C-alpha cells in the first residue's frame, strides 16, 4: 500500500489527474509503477505507510470463518483446494490491468444463477492478500444485492443512499477486521441491503458519477470490482459503461449458451472489452477465455 514518490509535488499532480473527471485510464508512468509494484517479485517486506484518513474511518467487518465457509467464500480459509483458481484469476487480472493501464472491472453474467457474486467476493478476498494493492468491491446489483449476506454483514447500509450522495465514503464502505486467516484490510466493500426499483436510471445518473468519482478520490484504489446484474436481463451494465474499463463474464456450466456470450460481446463492443469468460461449475472454475 506504499504510495510514496520522490517528488511530492509530482505525486500530487499525478493523483489529481488520475482522479479528476473524464477518462480514468492510467498514464504510462502510473501503469509502469503499477507493474513494478504488482508484478515484480518482492525481494523484501513492503514498506507500509499510514492509510489515508478515509480508510482509517471505515467500520470493520467481523470475520466469521464458519460463516464464510458455509457461504462458499473459499478464498478466506483456503481449506478448499479450489481457492487456487481465485489466486490464479487474481494474478492474471492484475497483470493484465497493469499492462493496459486499466483499473475498473465489471463482473456480470448473461443470466441469473451463474455465480457472479461468488466469483466477485472470492476474488476480492484473494486480492486482499496483495499487500501493496488497494481494492474496492461494490455491490451494484441493485436489483438483488448479495455480497453482504456472503460476508455475514447484518447492517450493510444502502448503496442507493451512497449513490445519491446521502452517505459518505467512510460512512458507507467497510473493511475486514482483524483475523487469523490473513485476510487483508486493504479491500473496501461497498455493500447494500435495499433493492432499487429504478436501478438502471440510478446507475446512469449524474449523482452516481459524482459518487463514484468521490469514492475513487478518497480511496485511491488500484483495482475496482463492480458486481452487477445479469447483463442479458437488464441494461444496468450498459447504463454504467462510462465507469469501467472491461468485463469479466461468469457463465454457468451446462446452463449458459454460446449465443448468449456472443450477444453480450456484441453489446459491449470494442470500447468495453470482454476480459475473460469464467466457467463456474460444480467441480470448480475454468477460465475458458482470457484476453486483453
Q: What would the grid cell of residue 42 be?
A: 518482492
Instruction: Choose between 253 and 178: higher pLDDT.
Output: 178
Q: Looking at residue 270, what is its pLDDT?
A: 76
* Gyration radius (Cα) of the chain, Å: 18
- pLDDT tops 80 at residue 212: yes
Mean pLDDT for 177-197 is 96
Q: Looking at residue 174, what is its pLDDT?
A: 98
Q: Looking at residue 44, what is its pLDDT?
A: 38
CA gap 2, 154 in Å, rounded: 32
Q: What would the grid cell of residue 74 be?
A: 473459499
- pLDDT tops 70 at residue 147: yes
Write the pLDDT tens digit of every residue in 126-142.
999 998 999 999 999 99
Write the pLDDT tens digit of every residue in 67-84.
999 999 989 988 888 889
- pLDDT tops 80 at residue 292: no
CA gap 107, 93 in Å, rounded: 12
Q: Looking at residue 15, what is its pLDDT?
A: 41
Binned at pLDDT 50, 70 and 90, residue 286 comes out as low
Query: How do strand 223-227 and strand 246-252 relate by DSSP bridges?
Result: unpaired
Q: Looking at residue 254, what is its pLDDT?
A: 77
Write the pLDDT tens digit of every residue in 96-111.
999 999 999 999 999 9
Binned at pLDDT 50, 70 and 90, residue 43 comes out as very low
Q: Looking at residue 34, what is its pLDDT?
A: 62
Q: Looking at residue 2, what is its pLDDT?
A: 47
- Measured in whole angstroms, the distance separating CA 162 from the mean position of its chain's CA atoms is 17
- Give the percent of the chain with pLDDT over 70: 78
CB contact at 8 A, 55 and 175:
yes
Q: Looking at residue 249, what is its pLDDT?
A: 94
Q: Looking at residue 222, what is its pLDDT?
A: 96
- Comparing 17-26, 115-124, 130-139, 247-256, the range with the smallest average pLDDT is 17-26
CB contact at 8 A, 140 and 226:
yes
Q: Looking at residue 178, what is its pLDDT?
A: 94
Instruction: Choose between 6 and 231: higher pLDDT.
Output: 231
Mean pLDDT for 137-166 is 97
Q: Looking at residue 145, what is its pLDDT?
A: 97
CA gap 274, 203 in Å, rounded: 20
Q: Looking at residue 253, what is its pLDDT?
A: 77
CA gap 279, 163 in Å, rounded: 31
CB contact at 8 A, 169 and 215:
yes
Q: Looking at residue 16, what is its pLDDT?
A: 35
CA gap 21, 85 in Å, rounded: 35
Mean pLDDT for 48-73 is 85
Distances (CA, A) of 246 to 74, 103, 290: 25, 9, 12
Q: Looking at residue 274, what is its pLDDT?
A: 87
Amino acid at each position: 500500500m506504499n504510495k510514496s514518490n520522490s517528488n511530492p509535488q509530482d505525486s500530487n499532480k499525478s493523483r489529481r489527474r488520475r482522479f479528476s473527471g473524464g477518462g480514468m485510464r492510467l498514464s504510462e508512468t502510473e501503469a509502469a509503477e503499477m507493474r513494478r509494484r504488482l508484478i515484480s517479485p518482492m525481494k523484501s517486506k513492503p514498506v507500509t505507510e499510514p492509510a489515508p484518513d478515509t480508510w482509517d474511518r471505515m467500520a470493520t467487518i467481523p470475520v466469521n470463518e464458519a460463516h464464510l465457509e458455509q457461504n462458499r467464500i473459499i478464498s478466506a480459509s483456503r481449506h478448499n483446494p479450489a481457492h487456487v483458481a481465485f489466486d490464479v484469476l487474481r494474478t492474471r487480472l492484475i497483470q493484465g490491468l497493469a499492462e493496459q493501464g486499466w483499473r475498473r472491472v465489471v463482473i456480470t453474467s448473461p443470466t441469473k444463477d451463474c455465480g457472479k457474486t461468488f466469483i466477485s467476493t472470492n476474488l476480492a478476498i484473494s486480492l486482499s492478500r496483495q499487500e501493496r494493492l488497494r481494492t474496492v468491491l461494490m455491490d451494484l446489483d441493485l436489483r438483488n444485492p448479495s455480497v453482504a449476506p456472503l460476508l455475514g454483514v447484518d447492517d450493510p447500509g444502502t448503496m442507493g443512499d451512497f449513490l445519491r450522495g446521502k452517505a459518505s465514503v467512510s460512512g458507507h464502505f467497510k473493511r475486514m477486521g482483524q483475523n487469523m486467516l490473513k485476510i487483508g484490510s486493504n479491500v473496501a466493500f461497498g455493500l447494500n441491503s435495499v433493492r432499487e426499483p429504478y436501478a438502471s436510471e440510478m446507475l446512469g445518473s449524474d449523482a452516481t458519477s459524482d459518487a463514484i468519482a468521490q469514492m475513487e478520490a478518497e480511496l485511491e484504489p488500484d483495482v475496482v470490482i463492480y458486481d452487477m446484474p445479469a447483463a442479458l436481463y437488464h441494461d444496468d451494465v450498459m447504463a454504467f459503461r462510462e465507469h469501467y474499463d472491461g468485463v469479466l463474464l461468469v457463465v454457468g456450466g451446462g446452463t449458459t449458451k454460446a449465443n448468449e456470450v456472443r450477444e453480450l460481446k456484441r453489446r459491449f463492443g470494442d470500447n468495453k472489452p470482454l476480459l475473460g469468460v469464467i466457467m463456474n461449475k460444480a467441480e470448480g472454475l475454468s477460465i475458458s477465455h482470457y484476453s486483453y
